[in-house]
Amino acid sequence: MITSFKLLKGILSLALFFSICLWLIFLFILGGIILGYGGTFGLENILEDFELNSKTTRIVLTTYLLGGYAVIIYVVYILRKLVVSLNTGRLFTKFQSAGFNLIGQIIIWLVVISSISDFILKLILNSRFEVKASFPDFWLFLAVGSFFIALGQVFEKARLIREENELTV
């Protein structure tokens, strides 16, 4: 019988593996676009919002995209380590509370930086003043990040109560 933690660990391991593979493929493809080796490799819909007139613009946009995906891969990696830690049976450890808190902070920072950089890129590259803060994108991920931070705080309080309880026994 497979437990839900083992299943979740397997899913996260697959997601981590495929994310790293896709990141490396995008690194190769976008590197080719930056250096001017051929076309856009079918990425016209991603790049159509931005006018890629100069090599510097392409380097900045590629660094931004690859950096964002690398941070997402790191979040999946931490989440996988948390699932493994929760599966060991020892709950409310310092790593678990810090891990949930870190995931929440990274998600919130990623959403805020993504929104600000999207605004700045469209303003500078396309000379368009456009503000987007739709529910599915911005507010949902802020709520998810806040949930992880709250979960980290709950785990920290439970850890402190458990340590206090172990001292009194």
Residue pLDDT, tens place only, 34-49: 656 555 444 445 555 5
| Cβ atoms 72, 130 nearer than 8 A | no
**What count of Cα atoms within 13 Å lies in the side-chain half-sphere of residue 2?**
7
On the 0-12 / 13-18 / 19+ scale of CB atoms within 10 A, 100 is buried
Predicted structure pTM score: 0.78
pLDDT at 64 over 90: no
Buried b (16+ CB within 10 A) or exposed e, 120-148: ebbeebeeeeeeeeeeeeeeebbeebeeb
- Residue 133's pLDDT is what? 58
Q: Where are the domains of the chain?
A: 1-73, 90-169
pLDDT in tens, 111-167: 999 888 877 877 776 666 666 655 577 888 999 999 999 999 999 999 999 999 888
- Residue 47's pLDDT is what? 52
- Residue 50's pLDDT is what? 54
State the Cα–Cα distance between residues 69 and 67, nearest whole angstrom.
Answer: 5
CA–centroid distance for 134 within its chain: 19
Average pLDDT, integer, range 57-70: 81
Helix, strand, coil proportions of the chain in percent (round to 5)? Answer: 80, 0, 20
Higher pLDDT, 10 or 118: 10
- Residue 137's pLDDT is what? 78
Residue 114 identity: S
